[in-house]
Amino acid sequence: GAGVSQSPSNKVTEKGKDVELRCDPISGHTALYWYRQSLGQGLEFLIYFQGNSAPDKSGLPSDRFSAERTGGSVSTLTIQRTQQEDSAVYLCASSLKGQGTEAFFGQGTRLTVV
């Protein structure tokens, strides 16, 4: 597709369950970002992939969170043993390699932990 695609758009899960969120970046974009946004709040950086370099995981809030990017394209964010405080919108963005390039965002996955 033309833009960044995220799935599912909405996810309701029970506390303690694992969830997987998927991001399909724009074709050819080597940089991929995951952010978390709580209602009406700013962006909380989670993880950043750039090409074949080791990902920057400095924003992951706990070891329950992990992310992979297979083949330099699709990325999956996994949250294990979900907690209610994990409820938020999870945003994915991608950009070209150049430092001056803007990031393009997906519509996000709204996660609700009940």
Which residue's CB is nearer to other proteins, number 19 or number 47? 47
Residue whose C-alpha is closest to residue 23's, from 10, 5, 37, 49: 5
Which residues are CB-contacts of 98 (< 8 A; sequence separation ≥ 6)? Answer: none
38 is an interface residue for other proteins by CB under 8 A: no
Restricted to residues 8-37, the positions that interact with other proteins (CB under 8 A) are: 31, 33
Per CB under 8 A, the list member of 25, 29, 48, 111 interacting with other proteins is 48
Pairing between strand 109-113 and 10-13?
A: parallel
Residue whose C-alpha is closest to residue 103's, from 37, 29, 47: 29
Tokens 């940089």 belong to 31
Stretch that binds other proteins, among 13-21, 47-55, 63-71, 75-83 (CB under 8 A): 47-55
- Interacting residues toward other proteins by CB under 8 A: 31, 33, 40-43, 45, 48, 50, 53, 56, 91, 93, 95, 97, 99-100, 102-108
